[in-house]
Amino acid sequence: MRLFPETPPPGPFRRSFWRSPLRGPWLTALLGSLLLPLVAIVAVTGLLSQIAYQPQLGANAIVDPASDLLPAVGWPTSPAWLYALTQGLHVTVGIVAVPLLLAKLWSVIPRLFAWPPVRTPAMALERLSIALLVGSALFELATGIANVQYWYVFKFNFVVAHYWGAWVFIGALALHVAIKLPVVRRAYRTNGVLRPLKADLAHTRPEPTDDPDGLVADDPAEPTMSRRGLLGLVGGGSLALAAVTVGQTTDVFRSTALLAPRRQVPPGGGPNAFPVNKTAAAARITPAMVGPGWTLEVRAGEQARTFTRDELLAMDLATEELPIACVEGWTTTQEWTGVRLRDLAALVGGEDRELLVESLQEAGVLRQATLAPNQAADERSLLALRVNDADLSLDHGYPARIIVPALPGVHNTKWVGRLTFS
C-alpha cells in the first residue's frame, strides 16, 4: 500500500508550479558557499561568548554547567577589546547573514514541497535533518534579533534556548555540508564557480538539468533578473544591514546604527552620556541605597572591612580606558577611574582568588557575578568610582561599579555593595 497518491495535489506540490529560471544546484551551491563562512563566524563567536561567561564560576551559569558541552577553559583579559570583537562579530555577522539565508531558502523552496514527501526511510532521515537545520537557523536568528532589539517576546529563557538551538544548528549543518559536498563539487565542475555570473539578463539561461534534487524548473519562465542581479540584490541587502548596524560597536558612529536600540545615549551630553543598559530605576536602585550611608564591604575568609566612598576616593586611584562590550553587540569605551581590584584584595588578604561581586540590586540574574582569579588580579581591573573625570551617574552604577578588560558587559556589575574574595 502506498502512503501518498502518485499524483501530487495541485499547487506547489506540482513541479510545474516552480518556474524561476534561476534556480538550480549551482545557484544554491554558491549561496551556500557564501553563507557558510558567515554562519561559521556566528557559531564560533557564539560559543566563545558562552565560554567568556565562565559558567563554571559561582552563580554565573545560565546554562547548567553539568550538561554544558563546552570545556571551562577560562577567558583572558587581553586584548581588552577581545569580547567587543567576538560579540560585535556575532551580532553584526548574524544580522548580515539574514538576506543570504533567505535567498538560500528561496533557492531550495521547491524541495519543501517535494512529492511524495517521503519515499524511503533514508529520505525521511534526510528530510528530518533538513527540518532541524532550517528550523534551528530560523530559531537562532529570530531569537537573537529579538534579543538585541530588547524585544522579550519569548516565555522561555533566551540564553538557554539560544545556546541549545546553536548546538542543534551546528550538528545539522555539519551533516548537511558533508551530504551536499559532492553536489556542490559537481555543480561547480559543470558550471564553473563564477562563470554563470558573467551572463547578463539577455544571456541568462536555466542551469543544465543534470540535477538530482530537482531544483531546475521543468517549465522555466523567462528570466526577469540575471544571476548576478540576484546576487547584487542579496549582497546589497546584507551591506545595507551592515551599514545600519556596525555603528553601535563604536562611540563615534553610534548614531548611524539605525537598527540598534542602544544608539541612544542619555540626553544632555557630558561625561556620562554613553549608552545605559539597565537604568537605576529599572533595577530598583533608590537614592537612599546609594546616599551618604552607602559603604562597600570587602571580605576574604574571616577578614572583612567596610569603606565609605570618600575612603575609597582617598586610596591610590588608577585610570584606565576600557570598553563595556554588551552581549547584545554594542560597545562603548570610556576612561574609568577607581581602586584596583587587586589593591582591594590585598587589604583583606584575598590576592589571586575568585571574586564574587554583589550589587545593591535585589532581584534579577545580573545582581551578582563571579570573576576568575586572572580577572580580579589584572592591574587594569577596577572598582570604578568615576568616569571621564566625573562621578559615575546613577544609571552607570554610582557609587561604584566593576570594570574589567575583555569581560562580557553583563558582568561589569553596577551599584556594587560587596566584594568577596574566595
Ligand X SMILES: Nc1nc2c(c(=O)[nH]1)N[C@H]1C(S)=C(S)[C@@H](COP(=O)(O)O)O[C@H]1N2
Q: Residue numbers of the site for ligand X (CB under 6 A)?
A: 275-278, 283, 324, 326, 359, 361, 366-367, 396-397, 409-410, 412-415
Q: For residues 418 and 396, give the distance between their C-alpha atoms in angstroms, rounded to a whole number.
A: 17
Q: Which residue's CB is nearer to Mo ion, number 326 or number 392?
A: 326
Our finding on whether 409 is near Mo ion (CB under 5 A) is: yes
DSSP tag of 375: H
How many residues at the interface with Mo ion, by CB under 5 A?
A: 4
- Strand residues in 286-330 grouped as ranges (E): 295-300, 303-308, 317-325
Say which entry of Mo ion, ligand X, none residue 84 contacts (CB below 5 to 8 A, set by partner kind): none
Partner whose footprint covers residue 21, from Mo ion, ligand X, none (CB < 5 to 8 Å by kind): none
| Closest distance to Mo ion from the beta carbon of 366 (Å) | 8
Q: What is the three-class DSSP state of 250? A: coil
Which of 331, 337 has the CB closer to Mo ion?
A: 331
Question: What are 409's three cell numbers?
Answer: 558587559
The upper half-sphere exposure of residue 296, i.e. CA atoms within 13 Å in the direction of its Cβ, equals: 25
Cis peptide before 99 (omega within 30 of 0): no
Strand pairing category for 382-387 and 390-391: antiparallel
Among 326, 339, 394, 402, interactor with Mo ion by CB under 5 A: 326
Binding flag, residue 397, Mo ion (CB under 5 A): no
Q: Which does 278 bind (CB under 5 to 8 A by kind): ligand X, Mo ion, none?
A: ligand X
> What string marks each residue from 253 to 282 as x (binds Mo ion by CB under 5 A) or -?
------------------------x-----
Query: Is 42 one of the binding residues for Mo ion (CB under 5 A)?
Result: no
Q: CA–CA separation, 144 vs 150, rounded Å?
A: 10
Q: Shortest Cβ contact with ligand X: which residue? A: 409
The residue (of 91 and 215) whose beta carbon lies closer to Mo ion is 91
Q: Which does 336 bind (CB under 5 to 8 A by kind): Mo ion, ligand X, none?
A: none
Q: Which amino acid belongs to residue 40? A: A
Residue with cell 580580579: 376
**Considering CB distances under 5 to 8 angstroms, the limit depending on partner class, which of Mo ion, ligand X, none binds residue 94?**
none
**Binding of Mo ion at residue 290 (CB under 5 A)?**
no
Q: Which does 359 bind (CB under 5 to 8 A by kind): Mo ion, ligand X, none?
A: ligand X
Q: Is the dihedral of CA 35, 40, 46, 49 positive or negative?
A: negative
**Quick check: 333 and 323 in contact, CB under 8 A?**
yes
Q: What are the φ/ψ torsions at residue 172 (nearest 5 degrees)?
A: -65, -35
Residue ranges that bind Mo ion, judged by CB under 5 A: 277, 326, 409-410
